[in-house]
Amino acid sequence: MESKKIIVTGGAGYIGSHTVVELFNHGFEPIIVDNFSNSEKSVLVGLREITGRNIKLFEGDCSDPNFINDIFKVERDVAGVIHFAAYKSVGESIKFPIKYYSNNLGSLCALLEAMEQHQVRYLVFSSSCTVYGAAKKLPVTENTPVVTPFSPYGNTKKISEEIISQEAQNRKQLKAISLRYFNPIGAHPSAVIGELPIGVPSNLVPYITQTVAGARNQLTVFGDDYNTPDGSCIRDYLHVVDLAKAHVKALDYLFDQQEDPYDVFNLGTGHGNSVFQIINEFEKVVGKKVNYVVGDRRTGDVPVMYANADKAHQFLDWRTELSLEDALADSWRWQEKISL
Ligand code: UFG
Q: DSSP letter string over 293-306?
A: EEEPPPTT--SB--
Question: What pTM was estimated for this model as a whole?
Answer: 0.98
Distance (angstroms) between ligand 1 centre and the Cα of 164 equals: 26
> How confident is the model over 268-294, as a mean pLDDT?
98
Output the residue whose Cα is nearest ligand 1's atom 21.
203
Residue 1's pLDDT band, with cuts at 50, 70 and 90, is: low
The whole-number pLDDT of residue 3 equals: 75
Contact 128, 26 (CB under 8 A): no
Three-class SS state of 79: strand
Contact 316, 269 (CB under 8 A): no
Distance (angstroms) between ligand 1 centre and the Cα of 259 equals: 35
Strand partners, 179: 126, 265
Indicate the residue type of 332.
W
Output the residue whose Cα is nearest ligand 1's atom 11.
222
Residue 100's pLDDT band, with cuts at 50, 70 and 90, is: very high
* DSSP-derived pairing of the beta strands 273-274 and 234-235: antiparallel
The whole-number pLDDT of residue 233 equals: 98
Residue 195's pLDDT band, with cuts at 50, 70 and 90, is: very high
Judged by average pLDDT, the poorest of 65-74, 100-109, 196-205 is 196-205
Residue 323's pLDDT band, with cuts at 50, 70 and 90, is: very high
The whole-number pLDDT of residue 197 equals: 83
Closest ligand 1 atom to Cα of 232: 15
- Please tell me whether the peptide bond between 189 and the residue prior to it is cis, using omega within 30 degrees of 0: no
Residues within 6 Å of ligand 1 by CB: 88, 90, 128-130, 153-154, 183, 202-204, 207, 219-222, 233, 235, 275, 298, 301
Distance (angstroms) between ligand 1 centre and the Cα of 304 equals: 11
Spell out the SS3 assignment of 85-140: CCCCCHHHHHHCHHHHHHHHHHHHHHHHHHHHHCCCCEEEEEEEHHHHCCCCCCCE
Distance (angstroms) between ligand 1 centre and the Cα of 333 equals: 21
Has residue 274 got a pLDDT over 80?
yes
User: Of the residues 14, 151, 233, 296, which should be mutated to test ligand 1's pocket, given the most ligand atoms within 8 Å of the CB?
Assistant: 233
Among candidate residues 122, 153, 207, 262, the one labeled active-site is 153
Q: Give the sign of the dihedral formed by CA 32, CA 34, CA 39, CA 44.
A: positive
Longest dimension (CA), the chain: 56
Distance (angstroms) between ligand 1 centre and the Cα of 300 equals: 10
> How confident is the model over 191-210, as a mean pLDDT?
94
d(CA 113, CA 107): 10
86 C-beta neighbours (distance < 10 Å), count = 25
User: Of the residues 89, 160, 216, 301, which should be mutated to test ligand 1's pocket, given the most ligand atoms within 8 Å of the CB?
Assistant: 301
> How confident is the model over 143-168, as a mean pLDDT?
97
Has residue 340 got a pLDDT over 80?
no
Q: How would you class 114 by CB atoms within 10 Å of its CB: exposed for 0-12, middle for 13-18, buried for 19 or more?
A: buried
d(CA 75, CA 60): 15
153 is catalytic: yes
Mean pLDDT for the chain overall:
96
Closest ligand 1 atom to Cα of 278: 14
Residue 257's pLDDT band, with cuts at 50, 70 and 90, is: confident
